[in-house]
Amino acid sequence: MSRPKPLSGFPEFLPSGRIAELAVLDIVRSTFELHGFAPIETRAVEPLDQLSRKGEIDKEIYVARRLHADAGDADELGLHFDLTVPFARYVLENAGHLAFPLRRYQIQKVWRGERPQEGRYREFTQADIDIVGQAALAAHHDVEIPLVAIDVFEKLHRDLGLPPVTLHVNNRKLSEGFYRGLGIEDTAAVLQRVDKLDKIGADAVRALLTDEVGLSAAQAAACVDLAGISAADESFVERVRALGVQHELLDTGLEELAALIRVARRSVPDRVVVDLKIARGLDYYTGTVYETFLQGSEKLGSVASGGRYDSLASDGKTTFPGVGYSFGITRILAPLIGKGKLTASRSVPSAVLVAVDNEEAREQAIAVASQLRGRGIPVEVAPKADKFGKQIRYAERRGIPYVWFGAGYDDSVKDIRTGEQQPASPADWAPPAQDLKPTVAGA
């Protein structure tokens, strides 16, 4: 069989990269749980009509079907492109068994038919948190979500050396109220064009607003002026007011966003900023929206995002409003791991290799390994009896720091990095804490 050709957009890490990824996921998961979020998992497929009913994502959906489908396979299914749509369905199906407000986290693969490039993949891992209410959800949860997100990123920065982040926030009520105050009815179309501002620039956005949406030059200019406002404090309110537009929904958005930045500045100074060009392309967002950028890697675009949605999930009688945030785990990690900016100290979990003098001694080697494993020390036994020099070189290639000799009769352990060797007993010897498991650090 010839060597298979890689599929672009489907990243696969080497073992050391996967160890780094798992270290990140451990921090993400444990931080979610510290904030009271419970885990769920949903199926990989959803009905196509559900996946394509919101936003402009339908061209990127992967269709799922049996190769030899029959008449019984009537449902058209697609792989989920995010975790929000399946979560909405999950809430509706299980509402009678859930306690609200529901605090959920979910870490799974998603699939999206994008053009592969750095930071954009066809298969990737997302980690989501959501707070969902039944009929109503208090506005203070919009403030809570970015604080959880910043807590995650600060720990990744502190513990693993990942770059720090800046979290940008806006409020769709603010933007939509401003547009309505200008006399614009199709606010969703304006939001979708404004969301392209970072990619195509102000002049191109103004052209889209006039040519495609039908705004006047003055309306388009005002929309772009609004999008140009940013601040790390509540000063943005005066700058918006200075544009001279009035609307009740605008007032509500300004009030909610001012409350968010006030609390954020007190909790995590300089990490959260108001950025009024943040729009989020999916049209189920109705209030606060978030996007997050790695400092020094802004060209990747937003690596984590989310917002408030008041009408995503409804059974016709009860609406389940929520606010959520999605971490693009692969989007963050693939460039860092690929460039060696996030590495594991070794490519295997093993801290010890138990050498095998000869095949007759393998049982004793296995017994020593079992004792060490019983005490929580990751161990593997040499794959074959060989000269000790070759077994040491085998451990070096795998990054294993210690080799155990004389299993069962004259036990000793050698730190192959320093050459130091000492007598040891499998009943009480342990490696230093920093050698027990691979460590992960940013370059």
336, 385 Cβ separation under 8 angstroms = no
Phi first, then psi: give them for residue 151, nearest 5 degrees. -60, -45
Considering 313, 343, 373, which residue would you say is the last residue of a domain? 343
Instruction: Tell me the average pLDDT of the chain.
Output: 91
> 266: annotated binding-site residue?
no
Using one digit for the tens of pLDDT, what is the confidence trace for 351-360? 999 999 899 9
> 130: annotated binding-site residue?
yes
pLDDT tier for residue 325 given thresholds of 50, 70 and 90 = very high
Does residue 443 lie in a domain region? no
The whole-number average pLDDT for the span 281-304 is 83
pLDDT at 120: 82
Same domain as 367, residue 334: no
- Write the CB contacts of 99 (distance below 8 Å, at least 6 apart in sequence): none
> 284: annotated binding-site residue?
yes
> 84: annotated binding-site residue?
yes
Considering 312, 343, 374, which residue would you say is the last residue of a domain? 343
Quick check: 13 pLDDT over 80? yes
Same domain as 331, residue 249: yes
Using one digit for the tens of pLDDT, what is the confidence trace for 43-59? 999 998 888 765 456 67
* Cα gap 326→130, rounded to integer Å: 9
* Cα gap 319→142, rounded to integer Å: 18
Does residue 9 lie in a domain region? no
* Distance (Å) of CA 440 to CA 22, 161, 296, 304, 383: 10, 9, 20, 22, 27
% of residues, the chain, pLDDT over 70: 96
* Cα gap 365→410, rounded to integer Å: 12
3-state secondary structure string across the chain: CCCCCCCCCCCCCCHHHHHHHHHHHHHHHHHHHHCCCEECCCCCEEEHHHHCCCCCCHHHCCEECCCCCCCCCCCCEEECCCCHHHHHHHHHHHHHHCCCCEEEEEEEEEECCCCCECCECCEEEEEEEEEECCCCCCCHHHHHHHHHHHHHHHHHHHHHCCCCEEEEEEEHHHHHHHHHHCCCCCHHHHHHHHCCHHHHCHHHHHHHHHHCCCCCHHHHHHHHHHHCCEECCCCHHHHHHCCCCCCHHHHHHHHHHHHHHHHHHHHCCCCEEEECCCCCCCCCCCCEEEEEEECCCHHHCCCEEEEEEEEEEECCCCEEEEEEEEEEHHHHHHHHHHCCCEEECCCCCCCEEECCCCHHHHHHHHHHHHHHHHCCCCEEECCCCCCHHHHHHHHHHHCCCEEEECCCCCCEEEECCCCCEEECCCCCCCCCHHHHCCCEEEC
Same domain as 371, residue 276: no
The whole-number average pLDDT for the span 237-243 is 96
Does residue 3 lie in a domain region? no
> 246: annotated binding-site residue?
no
> 126: annotated binding-site residue?
yes
Does residue 138 lie in a domain region? yes
The whole-number average pLDDT for the span 79-93 is 92
pLDDT tier for residue 423 given thresholds of 50, 70 and 90 = very high
| Tokens describing residue 206 | 């103004």
pLDDT at 60: 87
Same domain as 150, residue 228: yes
Same domain as 291, residue 192: yes
Domain count, the chain: 2
Considering 309, 343, 377, which residue would you say is the last residue of a domain? 343
pLDDT at 223: 93
Same domain as 252, residue 118: yes
380, 401 Cβ separation under 8 angstroms = no
Give the CATH number for residue 281.
Answer: 3.30.930.10
Does residue 2 lie in a domain region? no
Using one digit for the tens of pLDDT, what is the confidence trace for 157-176? 999 999 899 999 999 999 99
Quick check: 378 pLDDT over 60? yes
Same domain as 230, residue 87: yes
Does residue 10 lie in a domain region? no
Does residue 6 lie in a domain region? no
pLDDT tier for residue 181 given thresholds of 50, 70 and 90 = very high
Same domain as 367, residue 336: no
> 50: annotated binding-site residue?
no
The whole-number average pLDDT for the span 238-262 is 95
Quick check: 347 pLDDT over 60? yes
Same domain as 378, residue 433: yes
Long-range contacts (CB closer than 8 Å, 24 or more residues apart) made by 71-76: 75/47, 76/47, 76/48, 76/49
pLDDT at 58: 66
Give the CATH number for residue 413.
Answer: 3.40.50.800
Of the two residues 42 and 312, the one the predictor is more confident about is 42
Q: Which of 294, 297, 254, 306 is nearest to 276 (CA)?
A: 254
Quick check: 70 pLDDT over 60? yes
pLDDT at 280: 72
The whole-number average pLDDT for the span 308-318 is 85
Quick check: 71 pLDDT over 70? no
% of residues, the chain, pLDDT over 90: 71
The whole-number average pLDDT for the span 254-262 is 94
pLDDT tier for residue 370 given thresholds of 50, 70 and 90 = very high
Same domain as 410, residue 276: no
Same domain as 214, residue 132: yes
Same domain as 290, residue 432: no
Q: Would you give the distance in Å from CA 21 to the centre of its chain?
A: 11
Q: Would you give the distance in Å from CA 384 to the centre of its chain?
A: 42
The whole-number average pLDDT for the span 46-75 is 75
Quick check: 326 pLDDT over 80? yes
pTM of the model: 0.89
pLDDT tier for residue 72 given thresholds of 50, 70 and 90 = low
Does residue 246 lie in a domain region? yes
- Paired residues of 441 in beta bridges: 343
Instruction: Tell me the residue range of the domain where 420 lies.
Output: 352-437
Quick check: 319 pLDDT over 60? yes
